[in-house]
Structures are given as structure tokens and as C-alpha cells.
Amino acid sequence: MRVEAPAITRVTDELRRQLVGTYGPRLHGVYLSGSYARGDQDDVSDLDILIMPNTIPAYGAETDRTSTRIARLSLEYGVSISRVFMSQEDWQHGASAFLHNVRRDAIHMLSQPIAVLAES
């Protein structure tokens, strides 16, 4: 089942609002990455999200903090949402292949209107 662009716009807008509400000033960034950011998604693409709190004292705690919301949005919109947490420090100074690809393709969801996703 292909998820149409307006639904992706709604899910990313809602996800952004929920993450801002959950993290408040701790939230440094939220990035859409992967196939939806590149515009080459297909019927089985998931929605790849990188969540960047200023610090991550315990990765598992961040996963637990967002699991219910992510599951609800995935079910409501019919798209699998994959998330990764990364500290601001790791984002700025990390050198992995994963980071190289995410930096190249990512859309910063806190600074850019999500409506641009509908144009992909």
C-alpha cells in the first residue's frame, strides 16, 4: 500500500508536534532521511526519522519515551516509522557512512515546512 504525499505530510507534522511537546528545549533537531527525503520512496518504504536531543543519557529510555506515539502514528497512517536517536555532538562530529548519507539527504523538520514533502 503506497502512502500518498498528503498523508506523509500529516504524519510528519504530527510527529514533529509530538516530539517538540515531549522534548521541549532538549530537542535540537528532527530529520527526515532515507527514501522519503530523497523522493524515491516506493510501496514498501518506511519513514526514516532521526531524533536529536541535545544529549542521550540512555538510548533505551529515548526509545521507550517515544514508542507509544510512534506505534500509534504508524498504525493510523499505514506507514512504518523507523527512528534513530543521535546526540548533537555525534551529529556534528561523527564520521560513519550512515551519518554521511543522512547528512546528504536529510530534511530538517524543525526548520523547513513539511509541506515540501508533498512535492516529492
In this predicted model, what pLDDT tens digit does every residue of 50-88 receive, in sequence order? 999 988 999 999 999 999 999 999 999 889 999 999 998
79 vs 62: CA distance, rounded Å: 21
Main-chain phi, psi angles of 26, to 5 degrees: -70, -20
Domain boundaries, the chain: 5-113
Grid cell in block for residue 16: 514533529
Q: Is the pLDDT at 16 greater than 60, yes or no? A: yes
CA 56 from centroid of its chain's CA atoms: 16
CATH classification for the domain delimited by 5-113, as one of 3.40.50.1820, 3.40.50.300, 3.30.460.10, 3.40.50.800: 3.30.460.10
Q: What stretches of 1-120 adopt beta strand conformation (E)?
A: 27-33, 47-53, 81-85, 107-108
Q: Is the pLDDT at 4 greater than 70, yes or no? A: no
Residue 114's pLDDT is 44
- Cβ neighbours of residue 68 under 8 Å, at least 6 residues apart? none
